[in-house]
């Protein structure tokens, strides 16, 4: 990888046909190779984050200029800092589901609770159904010393915030849903 450089590129725009094609065509004309990519559409808005490796003589500015010509969507390009890391090994990944009446600050409260205990949120999805708000957080608990203590704190937190919180190991969901 010595003669390659890794860049992280993010795109945000109102959803329309062609965004992925425009951005990835621009990357390929510069000899960029995609390492990983995720895209999502939420309430009509498109967002994408991708990691690509470019030849050593391609600069961040060149990538920005090329993509600005290829697409009208807002693009941000960052050189990757340090080596790329994968999400935590599956041993310490848990899924926290949180269900409660919709109100301001729910995600903030839950994520602050996690942050204060050194817990990283690997993935987060939520949806509202009537006035019920449901959050699914994939958490890396490798920084937790005692799982029982964390569960006890979580239970107290659930009572004070009126949230129904359930913490289960990620493997359970894989076992019951993957073939």
Partner 1 sequence: MIRSDQILKTVEMIQKENLDVRAVTMGICLLDCRTGDAESTAQNIANKIKLLAGNFVETCDRIGGKYGVPVVNKRISVTPIAHVGAGFSREGFVRLAKALDHAATEVGIDIIGGYSANVEKGINQGDMNLIRAVPEALATTSKVCSSINAGSTRHGLNMDAVAMLGETVRAAAHQSADSNGFGAAKFVIFANQPGDNPFMAGAIHGLGEAEAVINVGVSGPGVIARALERKIEEEGAENLGLDDLAEEIKQATFRVTRCGELIGRQVAKELGLPFGVVDLSLAPTPLVGDSVGEILNILGVDDIGAPGSTAIVAMLNDAVKKGGSFASQSVGGLSGAFIPVMEDSVLADAAERGCLTLEKLEAMTCVCSVGLDMVPIPGDTDPETIAAIIADELMIGVINSKTTAARLIPVPGKAAGDFVSFGGLFGESVILPIRNTGKSSRFVKFGGRIPAPIHSLKN
Site residues for partner 1 per CB under 8 A = 95, 97, 123, 125, 127, 134, 136, 138, 147-148, 166-169, 171-178
118 CB-near residues (< 8 Å, 6+ apart): 143, 144
CB of 163 to partner 1, least distance (A): 13
**Please, which residue, 68 or 172, has the CB nearer to partner 1?**
172
Task: Find how far residue 102's CA is from the centre of its chain.
Answer: 22
Q: In what order do the strands lie in the sheet with 74-79?
A: 33-42, 45-55, 4-14, 74-79
Cα–Cα nearest to 10, from 75, 85, 79? 75
> Least distance from C-beta 125 to partner 1, angstroms?
6
- Note the Cα 138 to chain centre separation in Å: 10
Query: Residue 40 is inside which H or E element, if any?
Result: strand 33-42
Helix axes 106-116, 147-161, angle to 10 degrees: 160
Cβ nearer to partner 1, comparing 71 with 138: 138
Cβ proximity to partner 1: between 94 and 113 the closer is 94
Specify the residue, 42 or 175, whose C-beta has the smaller distance to partner 1: 175
Cβ 134 to partner 1 shortest distance, Å: 6
Taking the least distance from each CB to partner 1, the nearer of 72 and 90 is 90
* DSSP at 58: -
* CB 13 to partner 1: min, Å: 23
Closest separation between CB of residue 155 and partner 1, Å?
13
């Amino acid at each position: 990888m010595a003669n390659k450089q890794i860049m992280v590129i993010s795109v945000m725009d109102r959803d329309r046909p062609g965004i992925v094609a425009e951005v990835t065509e621009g990357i390929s004309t510069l000899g960029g190779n995609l390492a990983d990519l995720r895209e999502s559409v939420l309430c009509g808005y498109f967002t994408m984050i991708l990691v690509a490796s470019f030849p050593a003589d391609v600069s961040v500015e060149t990538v920005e200029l090329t993509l600005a010509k290829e697409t009208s969507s807002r693009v941000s390009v960052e050189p990757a800092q340090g080596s790329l890391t994968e999400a935590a090994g599956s041993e310490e990944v848990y899924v926290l589901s949180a269900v409660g009446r919709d109100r301001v600050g729910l995600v903030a409260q839950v994520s602050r609770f996690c942050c204060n205990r050194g817990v990283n949120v690997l993935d987060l999805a939520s949806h509202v159904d009537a006035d019920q708000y449901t959050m699914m957080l994939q958490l890396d608990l490798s920084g937790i010393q005692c799982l029982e203590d964390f569960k006890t704190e979580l239970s107290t937190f659930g009572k004070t915030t009126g949230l129904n919180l359930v913490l289960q190991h990620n493997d359970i969901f894989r076992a019951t849903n993957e073939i």
